[in-house]
Amino acid sequence: MIRRCASYAVLVAGLIPLLLPFYWMALTSLKPKREVFTAVPQWWPAHPAWDNYRSAWVAEPFAGFFFNSIVVTASIVALQLALASLAAFALSRFEFRGRSLIFWIIVAALIVPVQITFIANFMTLAHLGLLNTYAALVAPYAASAFGTFLLRQAFAAVPRQLEDAARLDGCSGLAFLWHVLLPLSRPTVLAFALVAVVTHWNDYFWPLIVTNNNAVRTLPIGLGMFVGQEVTTDWNLLMAASIFVSAPMLLLFFLMQRHFVQSQLRTGSRG
Amino acid sequence: MTSARPYLYLAPTLAVLAAFTYFPLARLAELSLHAPGIGTSLGPWIGFSAYSTLFANPLFWRVAGQTLLYVFASVPIAMAIALALALLLDQPLRGVGVFRVLYYTPVVMPTVAVAALALWMFNANGGIIDYLLHAIGIGPVPWLVDGAWALPTLMIVAVWKNVGYYMIIYLAGLQSLPRAVLDAARLDGARPIARFFTITLPLLRPTTFFLAVVALIGSFQVFDFVNLMTQGGPSNATNVLVYFAYQNGFEYVQLGMAAAISLVMFAMVLMILGALAWAFNR
């Protein structure tokens, strides 16, 4: 009983540094400018300025950035799912020469992030004339070592007998992948897709390298430019913009939290 | 049984990884041995002079040291907090699911939004953190404006952002432990603290190793917070390797030097991972 109370006390105390920033962000986003800097902080907006959101939205071409983020994130996730499914299918259900070597080549890519290769990738894309295109934003992420690994584990767990039975029913090859493996691995597929959506929606580094034009910039870049301009002045507008950039991911997370947590439980337990 | 099919299925993934992961490593090596200009030409061969210039530059050693400090301070701290939270959240408490979700929330936030928020909260002019500390008689702390404080401030932000992710991985590790062993220890009357150090922690070793690898690789990549919050300053106090490479490549247009920095960093990551694997599998 005492231990239980102590556990709750620690967990609740931990929520203060965890949640205060979220509250402060939301609160600041609703303050009129004169209430942002006060000698004694106001813990509740006396006159909520909902208009801040509209001002922030038009301060940069955020509508265009939003559209670009959706196109880029959706393209990356769709390609990763397609390529990882095919590769995982080969690695989990076929016997062939070099299988384990290929598996390790794919997994080893996890220790070579784009933060190491960016200079070379930038020069390649510049050489091909692809800077400031959706292709440049998507191409390096079209394959996912992590996704291939996860799906391989899930596919390998499907029993052999099921494959034999499906073959007798005339379902083999890609039909087996599509009609049997993927549906049976739904939780893993969903969990991986969610993590990929969040990762690429939030990505700041790579778009910063290959874009310098509003026509293809994504939301994090737009918000980053806003940070550069608004610092020390309009914190309320900056917080409003931060909220609408984060909101889709927060919403997705709260709606699908079970699957997010499950995805981590899936990878972690195999460590 | 061997046919072309599996190779066909693997081809797209291997092609992308070859083009954007493995080929670039070779390309970085090539760039670092030449003096490439702004254009697409490789420039003249200069041998290892980019590396000797780099190693003779005191700023490089400072940046490398700061990167290691950032990694080896923030990762263990975040892992320790995460393990403590995971132990608390592994108990059959009412509402434990809500806590798990709340503690995970910062993980899904964009780094840019977190950086904007941190700039505001740690601000010297009207920042809420100095106000709260002042209320208990501390500060004001020169968070981002003082060279000694700026890197620790970035670490605090990174720990806040990452701890939920590490927590979930530890939670997964805890939940995969053999219950029978833990129950037996409890029945033997082992005290909770002794039980943790003699049983739980050793059993969690694979999870700790996995997490340390993931966290190290992730932390070495730190760039977003630096670029958005400090631009490496004040006077290089928060300059780290990825930012240093970025600066050399895109601000000073020294692409060969930038490539050399990236490769040196990659070598450092490999050596540390090797040491970690050795330490954990001894």
Q: Is the distance from CB of A73 to CB of A200 less than 8 angstroms?
A: yes
Q: What is the pLDDT of residues A203-220, one digit of tens each?
A: 999 999 999 999 999 999
Q: What is the pLDDT of residues A104-156, one digit of tens each?
A: 999 999 999 999 999 999 999 999 999 999 999 999 999 999 999 999 999 99
pTM score, two decimals?
0.93
Q: Which of B9, B119, B206 faces A86 most closely, judged by CB atoms?
A: B9
User: Mean pLDDT throughout B173-201?
Assistant: 84
CATH topology of domain A58-268: MetI-like fold (1.10.3720)
Confidence at residue B95, expressed as pLDDT on a 0 to 100 scale: 86
C-beta atoms of A120 and B27 within 8 A: yes
Q: Judge whether residue A271 has pLDDT over 50.
A: no
What is the predicted ipTM?
Answer: 0.92
Handedness of CA B108, B113, B118, B121 (dihedral sign): negative
Q: Hey, which residues 28-87 in chain B have their CB within 8 Å of chain A?
A: 28, 31, 36, 40, 84-85
Q: Which helix (H) or strand (E) holds B245?
A: helix B241-246
CA distances (Å), A78 to each of A161, A170, A200, B203, B247, in order? 30, 28, 12, 38, 33
Domain limits, chain A? 58-268
C-beta atoms of B175 and A269 within 8 A: yes
The verdict on B24 touching A (C-beta cutoff 8 Å) is yes
Domains of chain B: 42-281 (1.10.3720.10)
Residues of A in contact with B109 (CB under 8 A): 202, 246, 249-250
User: Rounded to whole angstroms, how far apart are CA atoms B181 and A119?
Assistant: 51
CA distances (Å), B233 to each of A174, A206, B248, in order? 54, 22, 15
Contacts of B213 (CB under 8 A, 6+ apart): B273, B276
